[in-house]
Amino acid sequence: MSDSDDHNNPESADPGGRPVGGTEYSWCKAVPTGTGITVLALLLSKSPDIQLLENALHNLQNIHPILRSYLRFQTTTNSFSFVTPPNPHLQITVFDLSSTSQIIHDDDNNHHVSPYHSILQHELNQNAWHNPDPPLEMETKMFFVSVYALSETQWAVVFRLHTAVCDRASAVALLREILKLIGESNGDGIEKEYEKRCEVSLGIEEYIPSGKANKPFWARGVDMLGYSLNSFRLANINFVDANSPRYSQVVRLQMNPDDTERLLSECKSRGIKLCGALAAAGLIAARSSKQLPDHQTERYAVVTLTDCRSILDPLLPNDHLGFYHSAILNTHDVSGDEEIWELAKRSYTAFENAKNSNKHFTDMSDLNYLMCKAIENPGLTPSSSMRTAFISVFEDPVIDESNKLLLQKVGLEDYVGCSSAHGVGPSIAIFDTVRDGCLDCACVYPSPLHSREQMQGLIDQMKTILVDGGSYLEEEEDGET
């Protein structure tokens, strides 16, 4: 087993680094608490060529300088910045079968899931950025890669990144570039020199179109007060253990092609996106888990994340790495007789109206500020849970139509991409992918604040609601005939 946390003398670092932006700063504050560790885990049926993989990753570090950056924290100024060395420095940590088995065996929380799932959860809780007693000046890598031997015939390759440099779109781009470099090169010419880029791109705030983030001072104050007061009236699902140390766990929600097609068709026919249906199913499942009278309503918060690359100035391509998502928070009153499509329409319309009003830009600094305040003062949240919403969803799912030949070359059997959520954040963070026509959601939650049994039951209920909801069109068509 080898590791490579050592790096070159920081004095030789390329001057292309920069201070972090506002949204990046909030992630720098969040990740040490346990939220914002982005993990992309690949399950392979072929033993990966470590040297080939390492060369491919070095090429990616040349193309995307943010992948070779270090995060520097200076206690004297309480500030963060990216420092970018001129050359790639990543080396892969390799765990043999014995080491992998020991990791799985030592984690009492992984006994009811597969070895691959265990390693995914293990990596979500490997926090290289948590240091309770940092030195005067500290630098940490932003990008780690490990290979685990799960059996004689299966391996897990795991990429772990700080969310400040890798949102979901970045993780998807990273996956596609890695598979292309490894699979299509077939080992030939992998050390080809790519154009070396030295500067890390600016944060999202610097790309917001002129005037889009403007908000009068009094309006900002009213919104901040509203967000703060509303947080005390928000409902949560029951907390199982609010006192023990927390870590992230994952439950997957998967649907077959027919159910997925019906669900997406239902969304399209009603003029809404999948995020509205996922949020509605989650809200209904949460409300029904409490056995309350039907007439009693509860108010839940939904955070919808939207990828801003296509609406920034200048426009950024989908493979532009960094964090360029923004969040919109809405609240919804839910009773015991809610119907999924009415609630889905209401949820999506609230998000759409907010986005049309530029709230993903105007409220960006407000939500970042409140996120940091919740980190600094957990007692302001129910049971010091640091829950800021019930559920988070993405405006658009990842659509992945597999290149079968390429996947066969690499031996890719499965992959999951998600981020940790056991610090500040929602009770359920949903990372949805429509892969080869099948809905596949990684649902991340904080444990033991919520138990696996509790969350598995909730996700199973969500799936039932979504599958039943996808049958509405067929029932209507049958009724018409």
Q: What is the Cα–Cα distance from 183 to 44, expressed in whole angstroms?
A: 13
With 70 as the cut, is the pLDDT of residue 473 above it?
no
Q: Is 395 helix (H, G, I), strand (E, B) or coil?
A: coil
pLDDT tier, 188 (very low <50, low <70, confident <90, very high otherwise)? very low
Q: What is the Cα–Cα distance from 466 to 87, expressed in whole angstroms?
A: 48
pLDDT tier, 135 (very low <50, low <70, confident <90, very high otherwise)? low
Which stretch of DSSP H or E encloses residue 331? strand 325-334
Looking at residue 286, what is its pLDDT? 97
More confident residue, 477 or 24: 24
More confident residue, 203 or 224: 203
Q: Which amino acid is at 236?
A: N
Looking at residue 24, what is its pLDDT? 97
pLDDT tier, 298 (very low <50, low <70, confident <90, very high otherwise)? very high
With 90 as the cut, is the pLDDT of residue 266 above it?
yes
> Phi/psi class of residue 82: alpha, beta or left (left: φ > 0; alpha: ψ in -120 to 50)?
beta
With 60 as the cut, is the pLDDT of residue 41 above it?
yes
pLDDT tier, 187 (very low <50, low <70, confident <90, very high otherwise)? very low
pLDDT tier, 272 (very low <50, low <70, confident <90, very high otherwise)? very high
Looking at residue 197, what is its pLDDT? 75
Instruction: Using alpha carbons, select from 139, 160, 136 the residue that is nearest to residue 148.
Output: 160
Looking at residue 249, what is its pLDDT? 97
Q: How far separated are the first and last CA of the chain, in Å rounded? A: 65
Q: What is the Cα–Cα distance from 208 to 288, expressed in whole angstroms?
A: 40
With 70 as the cut, is the pLDDT of residue 229 above it?
no
Looking at residue 136, what is its pLDDT? 59
Q: Is 247 helix (H, G, I), strand (E, B) or coil?
A: strand
Per-residue pLDDT averaged across 112-126, rounded?
Answer: 95
DSSP line for 14-60: EEEEEE--HHHHHHHHHGGGTEEEEEEEEEESS---HHHHHHHHHHH
Looking at residue 10, what is its pLDDT? 37
For 306-363, write each residue's pLDDT tens digit. Answer: 999 999 999 999 999 999 999 999 999 999 999 999 999 999 999 999 999 999 999 9
H-helix segments, 298-358: 340-356
Per-residue pLDDT averaged across 130-146, rounded?
Answer: 81
Domains and CATH numbers, the chain: 10-204 (3.30.559.10), 207-480 (3.30.559.30)
187 phi and psi, to 5 degrees? 90, -10
- In the chain, what percentage of residues exceed pLDDT 90? 74
With 50 as the cut, is the pLDDT of residue 9 above it?
no
- Structure token pair of residue 366: 């407000």
Per-residue pLDDT averaged across 80-87, rounded?
Answer: 92
With 80 as the cut, is the pLDDT of residue 396 above it?
yes
Per-residue pLDDT averaged across 232-246, rounded?
Answer: 93
Looking at residue 315, what is its pLDDT? 96
Q: What is the Cα–Cα distance from 212 to 357, expressed in whole angstroms?
A: 9
Which residue's structure tokens are 């049994």? Answer: 453
More confident residue, 292 or 253: 253
DSSP line for 288-341: HTTT--TT--EEEEEEEEEE-GGGSSS---TT--S--EEEEEEEEEE-TT--HH
Least confident of 150-154, 167-171, 404-408: 404-408
Residue 221: CB partners within 8 Å, gap ≥ 6?
Answer: none
Q: What is the Cα–Cα distance from 456 to 443, expressed in whole angstroms?
A: 10
Looking at residue 365, what is its pLDDT? 93
- In the chain, what percentage of residues exceed pLDDT 70? 87
pLDDT tier, 246 (very low <50, low <70, confident <90, very high otherwise)? very high
Per-residue pLDDT averaged across 116-145, rounded?
Answer: 88
Residue 339: CB partners within 8 Å, gap ≥ 6?
Answer: none
H-helix segments, 50-208: 50-63, 97-106, 115-124, 168-179, 185
Looking at residue 153, what is its pLDDT? 96
Which stretch of DSSP H or E encloses residue 376? helix 364-376
User: What are 415's strand-pairing partners?
Assistant: 42
- Structure token pair of residue 427: 């009770």
Per-residue pLDDT averaged across 429-443, rounded?
Answer: 97
Q: Which amino acid is at 84?
A: T
Per-residue pLDDT averaged across 379-397, rounded?
Answer: 94
pLDDT tier, 109 (very low <50, low <70, confident <90, very high otherwise)? low
Per-residue pLDDT averaged across 207-229, rounded?
Answer: 75
Per-residue pLDDT averaged across 434-443, rounded?
Answer: 97
> Phi/psi class of residue 437: alpha, beta or left (left: φ > 0; alpha: ψ in -120 to 50)?
left
Looking at residue 112, what is its pLDDT? 80
With 80 as the cut, is the pLDDT of residue 1 above it?
no
More confident residue, 75 or 286: 286
